[in-house]
Amino acid sequence: MLIRIILSLVIIAGALFFFLQDRSVEKIEVIRPVKVLKLKPTKSSNVRTFNGIARSDVAATLSFSVSGTVKKVYVKAGQNVKKGDLIASIDSTYLRLKVDEVKASLKRAESEYKHAKNSYDRIQRLYVHNNASLSDLENSRTHSDSAKAQLTASKNRLQQVRLELDHTKLRAPMKGSISTVNIRKSENITTATPVATISSTKTIEVPVSIPGSLIDSINEGLICTVTFDALKGKKFKARVTEVSHSTSMKTTTFPVKVRLVKANSRIHPGMSASVRFEFKSAMSKGGYVVPAHAVMEDSNGRFVFLAKTDDNDTAHVIRQNVELGKLTANGIIITKGVRKGMYVITAGMTRLHENQIVKAPTK
């Protein structure tokens, strides 16, 4: 009997202990820090990028104006040249001999003209004193005029041969970069043979193809940004110089050309390029851009969590249903449900619930 009474007292004492222990524990809710975004009206932008290949807006295919055998090629593809630099030369032996031959012919013509002119002057004096006939005078004048014409022809011929000799050296007509070289030493070429292609590095342009939905947003003078695969991290300012509003039957895109505002020695024709256009458009009234991940959805629709500030340094969470607009490069547009000055929670939303107390940097 005594044992039974003692056992009952132990059970009652244990139950009382655990009851009091449970009542003494207070549940403490952790105040979580969150990130917020203060809403303010802004403008949305539509950023689009199109690929193209850089090229010079001034390019020329060079060729000799005389035929012959290539003596030497002074350049190679990709080489930068200055105006007047040698590109290639043709064997000039024959033309040098030709120059000597024409010089000798010119000396003979000068001598013949001098003799004919002196003879005409002498007969003219004799004719004045009736010591020579009219026929002698006319024959002498004809011979003098013929010798003079021959002298003029010899001078012109010498000038032509010297010009041909000078054309055996092909020089760069401008400062630029050699794109292609099409000849080799000892090759026989004609005046129609393309020797090399030179492109000006002073003005670089990039042609791109723009879809019809955007072509009306592009006008001459529009500023854009160009990047090159070979120049990582570098951005170059460019301006639209040509916009075509017609297209062929084979494509639905429209050709547009942009030109770099400033030249750069590291940019060469043939480089792969990306042209970035930013089409700005005013946002509709009441629209605000927030990060896309800040908008959530459940069975009751799409919503965001707002942080409404309390009197102290904390805020409590409010669920707010929203309506959305377009997705932009900067985020998604909220068209209804929020207003200017509200704080949208942008981090830690999955662990929140309505009326939860949080720590938000709203001040």
Q: Coil, strand or helix: which one is 62? A: strand
Kindly report the number of other CB atoms within 10 A of residue 236's CB atom. 19
pLDDT bin (cut points 50, 70, 90) of residue 56 is: confident
Stretch 271-276: mean pLDDT, rounded? 94
Q: What are the tens digits of pLDDT across the range 175-193?
A: 888 989 999 999 999 998 9
User: What pLDDT, on the 0 to 100 scale, is given for residue 311?
Assistant: 67
Q: Percent of the chain having pLDDT more than 90?
A: 45
pLDDT band at 17 (very low <50, low <70, confident <90, very high): low
Contacts of 90 (CB under 8 A, 6+ apart): 64, 66, 67, 68, 69, 70, 71, 168, 169, 189
Could you tell me the CA-to-CA distances from 355 to 72, 221, 310, 347, 358 in Å, in that order? 86, 53, 11, 17, 9
Among candidate residues 356, 360, 323, the one with its CA nearest the CA of residue 338: 323
Question: CA 287 to CA 334: how far, in whole Å?
Answer: 5
For 307-352, write each residue's pLDDT tens digit: 888 767 788 888 889 888 777 767 888 888 888 888 888 887 777 8
Burial of 231 (0-12, 13-18, 19+ CB in 10 A): middle
Segment holding 86, helix H or strand E: strand 86-90
The dihedral of CA 326, 332, 336, 339: what is its sign? negative
Query: For the segment 89-138, what is each residue's pLDDT rounded down to a tens digit?
Result: 999 999 999 999 999 999 999 999 999 999 999 999 898 888 888 898 89
pLDDT score at 342:
85
Task: Using alpha carbons, select from 22, 63, 29 the residue that is nearest to residue 317.
Answer: 29
Predicted confidence band of residue 11 (pLDDT cuts 50, 70, 90): low
Give the containing element (helix H, strand E) for 87: strand 86-90
pLDDT score for 28? 54
AA identity, residue 161: V
Quote the pLDDT of residue 12.
59
Cβ-based neighbour number of residue 214 at 10 Å: 16
Decide: pTM greater than 0.75.
Answer: no
Element (H, E) at 125: helix 93-128
Mean pLDDT of the chain: 84
70 and 90 in contact (C-beta within 8 Å)?
A: yes
- Predicted confidence (pLDDT) per residue in 221-245, tens digit: 999 999 999 999 899 999 999 999 8
- Token pair for 356: 């939860």
Element (DSSP H or E) covering residue 46 = strand 43-53
d(CA 301, CA 175): 65
The Cα 18–Cα 9 span in angstroms is: 14
pLDDT(284) > 50: no
